[in-house]
Structure 1
Amino acid sequence: MRIELDDLTANNLGVLRKINSVVLPTKYSDAWYKESLTVGELAKLAYFNEIPVGAIRCALETKNDQKTKIYIMTVAVLAPYRGYGIGRRLIDHIIEYAKTVFVKEVYCHVWTRNDEALQWYLKLGFEKGVLVKEYYKKMDPPEDAYLLRLRIQ
């Protein structure tokens, strides 16, 4: 069993789009995918024995020209490949990157109906924060999400 991460490129951008469309309840615009090519280490594909099965896409937040937080926009692993540590490897990559740029917090939103994801993040050490009403505005009807945070040592 081999898990490898790879950079996002114009040649494999469709893989990110496909994984997200299969796993996630929301759709992302062409502009979002195009921007994904510009974020470097904050977007990765995960391969399980050379098969693309997962992806992560984050954003680096700054305040007063200082890097402050990393927001996990999407993390997705195809259902048959969950439980092999692929998602963990993606999150660990972001945590290690955060340390290199001196960021002390990684955070995300999790759909309130996705108890599997919520439990997974809590197991990774994220703390459950506030409930954000109608966070997923494009869903019909709009759905709520929990804010989860991980403080980095």
Structure 2
Amino acid sequence: MIIETKHISSKSITWTLRSAKKSDADALAKLRRQIDCETEFLDRECGEGVLTATDFIQIIETDRLESGHLFLVAEHEDKLIGFTRCERKPLNRFNHQADFGICILKEYWGYGIGRHLISAVLTWADETNIEKVMLSVVEANESAIKLYQSVGFKREGLLLKDRKHADGRYHNTVLMGRMRSSG
């Protein structure tokens, strides 16, 4: 699915929110690798589960054609600085739900970009009749959990010792969901 491009001013920067394009594939592959190396809050370790530009082209094409898929990017001064994907579950019994993920370059944390990306995803989900948007987040990422809660996500579960990081420490994963309001 494709959304209308928006230019957003937030906390001293102006950036663009738009649908991903095939021409973004190289930049997305580099961006994802960089973000994976900047934080332990994501599922992958640095260099693990790499997606190539070809992989991103396939994902973008699928997401543009499927009404239950959304792939958005955040761009600042012609540079991709973050992205988000939301994908409706394909099985009939779970088709009212979609999985959501987001990542932003660390130097752009705190500018409100995540809140805008999430808002765009939730607006799209509501308009697409997706009743529930779900995500998982490492419990140590307290600022992300607070952000998700502020836009209507609720804690639904906790996976104990779900992640084991390279230093041998275990981390819990919080499962969160946001139901579409009925009014």
Give the AA of the match of 1:44. L
Contact residue 139 and residue 172 of structure 2 kept, 8 A: yes
Q: What residue is the counterpart of 1:48 in the other structure? A: 76
Q: 1:46: how far off? A: 0.6
CA deviation digits over 1:94-122, x for unaligned, max 9?
11211222111111000122222222212
Return closer, same or farther for 1:7/1:81 CA change in 2, 3 Å cut-off. Answer: same
Q: TM-score, normalised by structure 1?
A: 0.80
Structure number, greater radius of gyration: 2
2:117 aligned counterpart, secondary structure: helix
Stretches of structure 1 lacking an aligned partner (at least 5 in a row): none
Return closer, same or farther for 1:19/1:135 CA change in 2, 3 Å cut-off. Answer: farther
1:36 aligned counterpart, secondary structure: helix
User: What RMSD over aligned residues (CA atoms) do the two structures have, in Å?
Assistant: 2.6
Q: What residue is the counterpart of 2:33 in the other structure? A: 21
Q: How does 1:3-152 map to 2 (within 5 A)?
A: 3-24=15-36, 25=42, 26=44, 27-30=48-51, 33-37=56-60, 38-40=62-64, 42-64=70-92, 67-72=95-100, 74-133=101-160, 135-136=162-163, 140=166, 143-152=171-180
Q: Whose strand fraction is larger, Structure 1's or Structure 2's?
A: 1
CA distance in 1 between partners of 2:26 and 2:81 (Å): 13
Stretches of structure 2 lacking an aligned partner (at least 5 in a row): 1-12, 37-41
1:59 aligned counterpart, secondary structure: strand
CA distance in 1 between partners of 2:174 and 2:58 (Å): 25
CA distance in 2 between partners of 1:34 and 1:55 (Å): 14
1:118 aligned counterpart, secondary structure: helix
% identical aligned pairs: 21
1:19 aligned counterpart, secondary structure: helix
Contact residue 19 and residue 55 of structure 1 kept, 8 A: no
Aligned pairs, number? 151
